[in-house]
Structures are given as structure tokens and as C-alpha cells.
């Protein structure tokens, strides 16, 4: 597809890879919102990102931020601010980037799945949940107008293996924060440090409306496990989600009421969808309500 005309999506800061994914020798050649791009480390040490044409020739240079272990760019002229995560300054935390999983579906479906508690016993069996403890207790989901973010608080779920560092099951407390249609972080009970919250972040790179790469990171209190072990745990979880995400019909997220039927446990998803609607976002959203039984591009 060609570059989107969705003004909201164009004016987001969006991830395109980890800092180490673009080097002198090996650029990261990828796509964003339908636009081919190329990222490489330039002679002065900074990362440069350019739009490219079909032949791979560089065109317009894009604004770049190197933050949170990742490269962010925007295709718009008046971008909304990238999220602030003060937890990155906290003593004792450690950043481990996970890399990405490519998923053939709408980036919005991937974000929504990340906000979902009810699928834990079925998709992440014996990691993030298991039958018969399937209940999603009431929690609070809201749009925080002052910061223009979606939050879900007072969430909790019983988990067999909540994180790589967990040795026993635990009742995990969760909070979710959605700062962009394509960016969300969750805070969850740290299995080894009482009172502390571990962070798991999801940056979704929208390549096309129905194709994305889900980049993620963890920022836990964990001195026991190696980076590779933490990475493997998160990749295991993400790869459990992928076959689900690639088999939802339609691939694009339906925002028309009645197309999909939520329950109370879906309060975060409903709030997220309401927020998307208010923003008039069309990228990754189902256009034609009649085409629900199709994954045709």
C-alpha cells in the first residue's frame, strides 16, 4: 500500500527497531504506515532515517528519537509527544529489549490483545493463567483526558508463572497505560521485590494496515536471569499470541458497535476502542462493516 493519509497516525512517534538494529554495515530496511524507509547509523554516530522509493533511493529525511533502547520516527510535521517513562531512571531496574515478532494483522488488534486479561488461561496456559482460575475481577478503565491516555487500574489475575523470575504462582496486580494507538506499557507485581512493579512495554510498528511488527521490552527488578532468559520468556508469550492474532476475522479492528460483543472483562478494550474512535483514526480500522468474514487485504 501507499503511505497512509491518516493524519493521526502520521503524527505519532512510532518505533522502527532497536538501537542496535541499524548499524553502519547493516541498515534496517523496513516500512512504516505503508511508506518504505531505511534507517542507518551515520558517520557522526546518530541514527538517520529516510523515506525510500521503490528502487530503494533515499528521499526525505525523517525526525528521529533514540529512546528506551529503540528508534522512533514520525512521518508527520506536528507529532504528539512520545510517552515519558520516569521508571527508566529508577535505581535497580534493568532494560532488556526483546526484539520483534511480525504479525499479519492490524497493529490495533495487537495492542488490544496486550490489554486483555481474559485470554491468559487459554492462550498463555500455565504461564499467565490456567483453568479453573479464569475469573476477571472488576477493575477500572478510563480515558484520562488531562494526559490523553487510556488507563486500566485495580486489575488482578492469578498466574502460575507471572515472569521469568517467578518460582511460584502469584496473584498479580496489573495496571495498563495506553499512550498512543500503537504504544502501551503495563505495570505488574514484581515476583521477587515486595511492593515493586515490573514494566513490560509494547511498541507496535505499523507496516501496513494489516501487517505489523510488535517490538517489546521489559524493565524489571531482576538480577538473577540473563538478558537471553528474559528475552526467551517474553518471546514465548508473544509467540503464543501470534496464531490467535492472525486468525481473527476481520484482521482490521472493527469499531462499529455490534460487530463484536464484549463482556465486562473487556472494559479496557472497550475504552481503547472508544478512544480510537474519538481520534478518528482510520489506519488499521475496519472500513466496511459488511466484510467481517474475510481477511482479504
Partner 1 sequence: MEQTSWIVAGLSAGLFEGSVMPVKTPGKDLAVWRQRSGQANAVEDRCPHRGMRFSMGFVRGDQLACRYHGWEFDGAGVCKNIPAHPTLQPPKTICAKTFVCQEVNGFIVVNVGDDGAAMPAEYSELEGENMVPVRSVYLDASISTVRDWLMQAVFPTFAAGQDGTGTPVTYIYGNLNDNLVRISAQVGATTEELILALQALDDDRTGVHVQVSDMGSKEEMPAVQRHVARWLADLRLRLESNDQSQINKLKISA
Among 84, 243, 288, 297, binds partner 1 (CB under 8 A): 243
Is 117 an interacting residue with respect to partner 1 (CB under 8 A)? yes
- For 240, the enclosing helix (H) or strand (E) is helix 227-245
Among positions 247, 277, 287, 297, the unique one binding partner 1 when judged by CB under 8 A: 247
Q: Are strands 14-18 and 28-32 parallel, antiparallel or unpaired?
A: unpaired
The Cα angle at residue 236 between residues 230 and 240, in degrees rounded to 5: 150
Closest to partner 1 by CB, 1 or 249: 249
- In the complex, what is the shortest distance from the CB of residue 93 to partner 1, in angstroms, rounded to a whole number? 32
Is 255 one of the binding residues for partner 1 (CB under 8 A)?
A: no
- The single residue among 235, 260, 275, 279 that binds partner 1, judged by CB under 8 A, is 260
Asked if 99 is part of the footprint of partner 1 (rule: CB under 8 A), the reply reads no
Q: How far is CA 193 from the centre of its chain?
A: 25
Q: How far is the CB of 248 from partner 1 (least distance, A)?
A: 4
Q: Does 261 bind partner 1 (CB under 8 A)?
A: yes
| Torsion angle, alpha carbons of 238, 240, 243, 248, to 10 | -80
Choose the binding region for partner 1 from 40-48, 92-100, 253-261, 276-284 (rule: CB under 8 A): 253-261
Q: Is 131 in the site for partner 1 (CB under 8 A)?
A: yes
The C-alpha cell 521503490 sits at: 54
Cell numbers standing for residue 17: 527497531
Answer for which of 32, 110, 211, 265 binds partner 1 (CB under 8 A) is: 265
The yes or no reply on residue 123 touching partner 1 (CB under 8 A) is: yes
**d(C-alpha 50, C-alpha 121), whole Å:** 43
In 46-136, DSSP assigns E strands to 47-52, 58-62, 64-67, 70-73, 96-103
* Cβ nearer to partner 1, comparing 217 with 272: 272
Q: What does the alpha-carbon distance between residue 197 and residue 87 come to, in Å, rounded to a whole number?
A: 10
Angle (CA) 203-72-25 rounded to 5° is 110
Number of residues that bind partner 1 (CB under 8 A): 26
Kindly tell me which of 109 and 161 has the beta carbon lying closer to partner 1. Answer: 109
Work out whether 42 is an interface residue with partner 1 (CB under 8 A): no
- Site for partner 1 (CB under 8 A): which residue of 19, 196, 244, 270? 244
By CB under 8 A, residue 135 contacts partner 1: yes
Q: Which of 125, 156, 122 is nearest to 140 (CA)?
A: 156
When binding is defined by CB under 8 A, the residue of 44, 55, 89, 293 that contacts partner 1 is 293
Q: Is 122 in the site for partner 1 (CB under 8 A)?
A: yes
Q: Which residues are registered as beta bridge partners of 264?
A: none
First to last CA, the chain: 10
Binding footprint of partner 1 on the chain (CB under 8 A): 117-119, 121-123, 131-132, 134-136, 243-244, 247-250, 254, 260-265, 292-293
Amino acid at each position: 500500500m501507499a503511505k497512509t493519509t491518516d493524519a493521526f497516525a502520521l503524527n505519532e512517534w512510532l518505533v522502527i527497531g532497536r538501537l542496535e538494529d541499524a548499524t553502519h554495515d547493516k541498515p534496517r530496511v523496513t516500512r512504516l504506515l505503508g511508506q518504505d524507509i531505511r534507517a542507518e547509523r551515520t558517520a557522526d554516530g546518530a541514527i538517520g532515517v529516510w523515506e525510500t522509493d521503490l528502487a530503494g533511493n533515499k528521499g526525505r529525511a525523517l525526525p528521529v528519537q533514540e529512546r528506551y533502547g529503540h528508534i522512533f520516527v514520525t512521518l508527520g510535521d506536528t507529532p504528539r509527544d512520545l510517552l515519558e517513562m520516569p521508571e527508566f531512571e529508577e535505581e535497580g531496574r534493568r532494560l532488556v529489549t526483546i526484539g520483534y515478532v511480525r504479525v499479519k494483522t492490524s497493529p490495533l488488534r495487537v495492542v488490544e490483545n496486550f490489554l486483555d486479561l481474559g485470554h491468559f488461561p487459554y492462550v498463555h496456559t500455565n504461564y499467565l493463567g490456567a483453568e479453573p482460575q479464569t475469573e476477571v475481577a472488576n477493575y477500572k478503565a478510563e480515558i484520562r483526558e488531562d494526559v490523553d491516555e487510556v488507563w486500566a487500574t485495580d486489575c488482578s489475575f492469578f498466574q502460575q508463572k507471572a515472569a521469568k523470575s517467578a518460582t511460584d504462582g502469584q496473584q498479580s496486580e496489573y495496571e495498563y497505560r495506553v499512550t498512543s494507538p500503537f504504544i502501551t506499557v503495563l505495570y505488574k507485581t514484581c515476583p521477587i521485590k515486595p511492593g515493586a512493579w515490573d514494566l513490560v512495554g509494547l511498541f507496535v510498528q505499523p507496516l501496513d494496515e494489516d501487517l505489523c511488527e510488535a517490538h517489546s521490552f521489559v524493565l524489571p527488578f531482576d538480577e538473577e536471569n540473563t538478558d537471553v532468559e528474559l528475552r526467551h520468556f517474553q518471546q514465548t508469550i508473544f509467540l503464543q499470541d501470534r496464531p490467535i492474532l492472525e486468525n481473527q476475522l476481520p484482521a482490521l479492528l472493527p469499531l462499529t458497535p455490534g460487530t463484536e460483543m464484549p463482556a465486562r472483562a473487556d472494559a479496557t478494550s472497550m475504552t481503547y476502542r472508544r478512544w480510537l474512535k474519538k481520534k478518528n483514526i482510520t489506519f488499521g480500522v475496519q472500513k466496511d462493516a459488511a466484510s467481517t468474514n474475510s481477511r482479504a487485504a
